[in-house]
A and B are shown apart, each in its own frame.
Chain A
Amino acid sequence: MTRPQSRGTVVLGVLVGAALVWLAASRGLWAGPLVASFLWALATSSRRTRLLGALALSVLGYAAPLVAAAIGHEPVAATAADVAAIMGFGRQALVPWALTAVLCLAQAAAGGWLGHAFRSLAAAPTAPRYVLRR
């Protein structure tokens, strides 16, 4: 049913997925990791790559704009502290980081799992096992 995917294909897929997540985020669509992870899991044959790839593209897609902002000398760290303050957490900069990570990882897990489940559904036996074997 599926062919094994080369490492190069996997890496390229992750990068393309991350880019799409970034692009979606810049258009205000925050659920990019969910959708991308779902599609990734649906299209990936290896169980291991399915989970790790979904996580990788999601984290990369969410982290890249923040890293780019920091490289561009935008005050990302100060922003984290200020956001935490506005939320009532003092200046615990960890809070917005953690919430962003939770948002990203929860989407990756949920989307990846749903994609994996659908893929399993497609592969699941619809008749007695011996019939399939024949």
Chain B
Amino acid sequence: MGRGRVWLSVALAAVLVAAVLDVGVRGAGPLPPLGPAFNPVAGVWSMARTAAPPRRETLRVAGLDAPVSIAFDARGTAYIDARTDHDLFEAMGYVEARNRLFQMDLMRRQGEGLLSQVVGPAALASDEFELQLGLVRTARANWQALPRTSAARAALLAYAAGVNDVIRADERDGTLPAAFRLLGYEPAPWTPIDSLIVQGDMTQDLAYTTAPIEYDLLQRHLGAARARAWLPVSESGPQHPYDTGPYLRLPLAAMPSQTAVQSSYDLAGGVPDAALSGPASYAASVAAAAAPRAARAALAEVATLAATVRHSFADSNNWAVSGRHTASGQAMLAGDPHLTQTLPAIWYQMAGRAPGYDFSGVSIPGVPVILIGYNRDIAWSLTNVQNQVTFFYRERMSPAHPGAYLWHGAWRPMRHVTYTIPVKGARPVALTVRLTVDGPLIRQSGETLAVDWAGALPSDDTRVLMSIMAATDFAQFRSALRAWHSPSQNFVYADRRGNVGLISAGYYPEVAAGRPYAVLSGTGGEDVAGTIAFAAIPHAYDPPGGLVFSANQREVTNAYPYYVGTEMDFFDPGFRADEIYATLAGARGLTPASFARLQTDTRDLLAARMVPELLAALRGRPLTPTQAAARRLLVGWNGTMGVAAPQATIWWYFLDRYVVDTFGPWWTAERVPVGADPNLALSWTSEVATPLMQDLEAWTATDPTNPAFTAPGGTRRTAGGVMARAFDQAVAGIAARLGPDPSTWRWGRVHAREFRSLLGVSSLSYGPRPSSGDPFTVDAADGGLTAGQGPSWRMIVTWTRTGAPLAEGVYPGGQSENPASPLYADEVATWWAGRYDPMHLVGQPGTRTGAVWRLTS
């Protein structure tokens, strides 16, 4: 071979080597970096190694005070036995990271506005929104507010140390979850602020709403009078509040202002805003016509958020009864928070024992506390209070005062904080967030809306939950909840002495003036003036009936002397609460099995109330054979939305048409901007639909000639006429889809549940599987005909006659986030069948059916 040809060969070989290395390091097209990803030991294949259920191991974990034992049962539930409180929290971090590290990283990135960094421009809108709303600023303020000696601070630090032990070990052993390899990054060390951001994600999911913007839009299009009548402050249907009074009327208590909190922000060079940009940036028009544009833009931003951090549906239950209702004579408590159901699930189940603690329950991965659970003395569970904690302000701006807004008669400069958002595969994006006394501006498009959201205010939730985990009686429980601010939650309580209680803890902001359920004026007169004092918030302790319950219904009667929210998006229509009340109020001899039946109850109370009205409306009307067959099916039906029930299908299609036939002509005539905001659509998954259904329930029964039934400019109609028309359309619609025989119109043919993979991968999801239930059933199925929200955890706790806790629980998912693991979705079948697994405290029989890890430093 000539020397020239040899050199050519060397050159070509070198080019090939370079190409291979390039694809290995940087990837190609849609492919990840092939080298680290498909390394047969340390790449994605390590998923196989980490898929096995926990094995007996001795593990080195830095920083422990003493050896820690973590036993596992067959389902992977962790039972942590530690000799110090510090070790307990470090072990919690360790065990959660071993099972959910990628989920935890995703959740902190969501709140930090750092999703684009790993998934690219598709997540940019979400990141911009989060940075505007400011979960990361709040988390930092929360962290700064923690005293150096506080137990919560120590727990957060210990937890972070446990997580970081896992990150270091995974990087060393090549066992990082496969998703990291495929996305081409490694997790940054975990910090206490990350835990507080995950807590913020949850707060946002439960408590951030755009309902006031939507009300504002509806009011502009429908007119103030109709908006008031159709979307009233108080529910038009019957409700069962748990706190029936008498109520205290106390002066408002102080709460931190957004300004006070902003002063603790690290503004990264934050200065008054006058020097920023030019007047054109803020040349805000105060013309009314511009408002909807701004609102629509804000709503479009929220629509880009991941489903897990948007407040969209309000469906959780909890209740407790005293011993006189139960067969055992002991108090009994149940809780089933309804959240977005994903794989892996939002929950991780564990028990822990240390000198200061002895608990069992579920935690959110990333947070060093049990949110729902029990100890030897008390049990607790949560539902969302649903009171209004999000207020929008229209700021007054002027080209003559660039970078300023009018507040209490003076032009006040905005402060600003700047961010650079790293975007995978694209240039970094600069973002400037402007801050007013009312909170951050979420958009400036023609006009500016500031959002005063109580979730942005510090709330020492970690400390509160740690106190509850260690509480032994109601006094301690109640005392702990004084410091709970966001998200406002209904904490149901029961104890081994037979007491039951419920406290709706959290901020209840009250504005000085104006209509808080619409967009408020930012000029100062309608600012938040304070919060309802703790002594006056809804609560009950050992009420005469021996029953406390919450299902997101309004907690108080109309006699309550404070504004707490309207029926649009805030409070649930109350059908679940009514069903719970009807089942439990007069019951005797209740057992855990009775509670389980109620948690899986699929009777739709609205259907039970309205179907007789429908049948009455159809009486004497000529019906086709198919219509007649459908009507016959409804006779005697009790409203149970069973998977095999054709009546459920008929009812649901009818209800949908009843809403559309009644309100659709108004929506069309008044040009309600449903295209800009799906929550304004007359669809049963929209925020506006539920209050309209409540209107129909009330009008059908008591006001069948309400003017709303008559279309604008049309001939006069009544409830009966509209119902008959809706029935005709529903039957025709179902027949076109499912065939002419109504007896085959099983609910499961059109209705399903799906537990979607957190990665959005359908083949790693569960379902869709035909399912019973609907948004109004105690066993709720929400989010569309393929429901994605529902009971994310079910728990029942009582005590034996000797005072030992007796508990069971289940969530639809599994302890591992690794899809190749047998513990990825192993509990779905148990959940689906309405069964439960026994829960234990550390050391009880049944806690060592799997392996044991021994952690030593």
Q: Which residues of A contact B (CB under 8 A)?
A: 22, 25-28, 30-31, 34, 62-63, 65-66, 69, 73-76, 78-79, 81-83, 85-88, 90-91, 96, 99-100, 102-103, 106-107, 109-111, 113-114, 116-118, 120-121, 124-126
Complex Cα distance A83/B653, Å?
40
Contacts of A113 in B (CB 8 A): 9, 12-13, 16
B3-61 with Cβ < 8 A to chain A: 3, 6-7, 9-10, 12-14, 16-17, 19-21, 23-24, 30-32, 34-45, 47-49, 51-52
Complex Cα distance A121/B12, Å?
13
Could you say which of A27, A34, A85, A121 contacts B6, with CB atoms under 8 Å apart? A121
Complex Cα distance A107/B40, Å?
14
Whether B280 is near chain A, meaning CB under 8 Å from some CB there, is no
A117, B38: Cβ atoms closer than 8 Å: no
Whether B154 is near chain A, meaning CB under 8 Å from some CB there, is no
Which of B79-87, B711-719, B758-766, B804-812 lies at the binding interface?
B758-766
Whether B179 is near chain A, meaning CB under 8 Å from some CB there, is yes
Interface of B is mostly: helix
Q: Which residues of B contact A (CB under 8 A)?
A: 1-3, 6-7, 9-10, 12-14, 16-17, 19-21, 23-24, 30-32, 34-45, 47-49, 51-52, 174, 178-179, 182, 759, 761, 763-764, 819-820
Contacts of A96 in B (CB 8 A): 38, 44-45
B6, A65: Cβ atoms closer than 8 Å: no
Complex Cα distance A76/B12, Å?
36
Complex Cα distance A113/B174, Å?
30
B182, A75: Cβ atoms closer than 8 Å: no
Contacts of B820 in A (CB 8 A): 75, 78-79, 82
Q: Answer whether A79 and B38 are a contact pair too, CB < 8 Å, given A85-B764, A86-B759, A120-B9.
A: no
Q: How far is the CB of A21 from chain B (nearest CB, A)?
A: 9
> B7 — nearest CB in chain A belongs to which residue?
A121
Q: Answer whether A86 and B178 are a contact pair too, CB < 8 Å, given A75-B820, A79-B48.
A: yes
Complex Cα distance A103/B35, Å?
7
Q: How far is the CB of A78 from chain B (nearest CB, A)?
A: 5
Contacts of A116 in B (CB 8 A): 9, 13
B41, A25: Cβ atoms closer than 8 Å: yes
Contacts of A107 in B (CB 8 A): 20, 24
B49, A78: Cβ atoms closer than 8 Å: no
Complex Cα distance A118/B17, Å?
13
Q: How far is the CB of B9 from chain A (nearest CB, A)?
A: 4
Q: Answer whether A25 and B6 are a contact pair too, CB < 8 Å, given A79-B820, A110-B16.
A: no
Q: Answer whether A34 and B47 are a contact pair too, CB < 8 Å, given A86-B764, A91-B763.
A: no
30 intermolecular pairs with C-beta atoms under 8 Å apart: A22-B41, A25-B41, A26-B174, A30-B39, A30-B42, A34-B17, A63-B40, A65-B41, A65-B45, A75-B48, A75-B51, A75-B820, A79-B820, A82-B47, A83-B44, A83-B47, A83-B182, A85-B764, A86-B761, A86-B764, A87-B182, A90-B763, A99-B34, A99-B37, A100-B43, A110-B16, A113-B13, A117-B13, A121-B3, A125-B3
Complex Cα distance A125/B31, Å?
43
A30, B17: Cβ atoms closer than 8 Å: no
> A38 — nearest CB in chain B belongs to which residue?
B17
